Amino acid sequence: MLAALTMLAGPAAANQRRGGGKLLLTNGVSTVDGAAGGGLASWAVIAGNETEDGIGGTAHATYVALPDFDLSSAGAAIGLSDRIELSYAYQRFDTRAAGAALGLGRGFTFGQHIVGAKVKLVGDAVWAQDTMLPQVSAGVQYRIAERRAVVKAVGADGDKSADFYVAATKLWLAQGIVADATLRLTKANQFGLLGFGGPRQNDRTAQFEGSLAKMLTRKLVVGAEYRTKPDNLGFAEEDDSYDLFAAWAVHRNVSLTAAYVDLGDIATVRNQRGLFLSVQGGF
C-alpha cells in the first residue's frame, strides 16, 4: 500500500540525481483517493518522475476485495516541477449480496469523484539527508458522492465536501526507512462514499494518517499504514483502517502493491478485511 520511497540504490544515491527524472519510485504509489503516497495515506511527495525542470504523471487502478463488499479506484495525477500535484480519482463501492440485506438491492453501487491538488511547502524527502527536516506538503481533495438521495437517507448532511491535509514525509537512505505523518481535516463518511457529516458530528474533525516502511531489497519494500476516520452517522459506528503491505518495483515506470487491509465494520456489516491490489504506471 505504501509508496516505495525506500526502493533506492543506497546511500550513494543521495549524491547524484538520475538524468531525466527522480530516483527509482520516489514518486510513490497512488492512494485510493488519487494523491501520491501510500494506498491509504496521502504523502508529501509529488506524483510523476519529473524533477524541478519538468512535468510528470501517473495513472493507477486499485481493487479491494472484502468479504461482503468490493471497492475499486482508478485515476491519474500530474506533477509540475516536483512542486505541484493535480489529481483525479473515481471510487466505486459494490455492495454485492449485502446490498439486499441493507435494503438497497443486491449489487447496489456507490460512487465518488475526487479532485485533488497538493503543493510542496518545504524540505525534500529524498535529497535533504543532512537534516531531520521532512518534506512537508499541503493539499485539498474535493469529493462528490453519487447517490445523493441514498446518502441523505442514511443520515449524511450532504453529498459534497472538501478535505484539507498537511503531510510530512521523511526518507532515511542509509537505513532504508521511510515514515509519513498526515493530518487531515474531513467530515467524510466511509472515505466520502456515504456522504459527509451526520447527526453525531457535522463539522470537519482532525484525523491521522501514518505510514512506516522498510526496504528488504532494492525493489521490494514492506510496511504498514494506519488511517483514522470520523464517526458521523447515527445508524452505524465507523472504524479506523489499516494495512500490511508489500510493494514491488517491476520497472522504473511500473509498480505493483499487494496488502492485507482491514476497514473494520462498514454500514453494520462486521469485519471487512481483505486483499488490496494496485498497479501504477508513471513517467
When pLDDT is cut at 50, 70 and 90, the band that residue 20 belongs to is very low
As given in the structure block, the three cell numbers for residue 203 are: 463539522
Which residues form the domain of 121?
11-143+160-186+205-282
pLDDT band at 88 (very low <50, low <70, confident <90, very high): very high
**For residue 13, what pLDDT band results from cuts at 50, 70 and 90?**
very low
In a domain, 139, yes or no: yes
For residue 176, the domain's CATH number is: 2.40.160.40
Q: What percent of the chain has pLDDT over 70?
A: 92
In-domain check, residue 196:
no
pTM for the structure as a whole: 0.89
192 occurs within a structural domain: no
What confidence score (pLDDT) does residue 185 get? 98
Q: Taking the CB of residue 232, how many other CB atoms lie within 10 A of it?
A: 25
Q: Give the count of domains, the chain.
A: 1
Q: Is 43 left (phi over 0), alpha (psi -120 to 50) or beta?
A: beta
Q: At residue 36, does pLDDT exceed 80? A: yes
DSSP characters for 129-194?
TTSSPPEEEEEEEEEEES-HHHHHHTT-SBSEEEEEEEEEEEEETTTTEEEEEEEEEE-BSGGGTT
Task: Assess if residue 198 is contained within a domain.
Answer: no
Residue at 6 is within a domain? no
Is 155 within the bounds of a domain? no
In a domain, 36, yes or no: yes
Rounded to whole angstroms, how far apart are CA atoms 78 and 88? 9
173-229 pLDDT, tens digit per residue, is 888 899 999 999 999 999 999 999 999 999 999 999 999 999 888 788 899 999 999
Q: Please state, in angstroms and rounded to a whole number, the distance separating the CA atoms of residues 61 and 141.
A: 19
Domain contains 199 = no
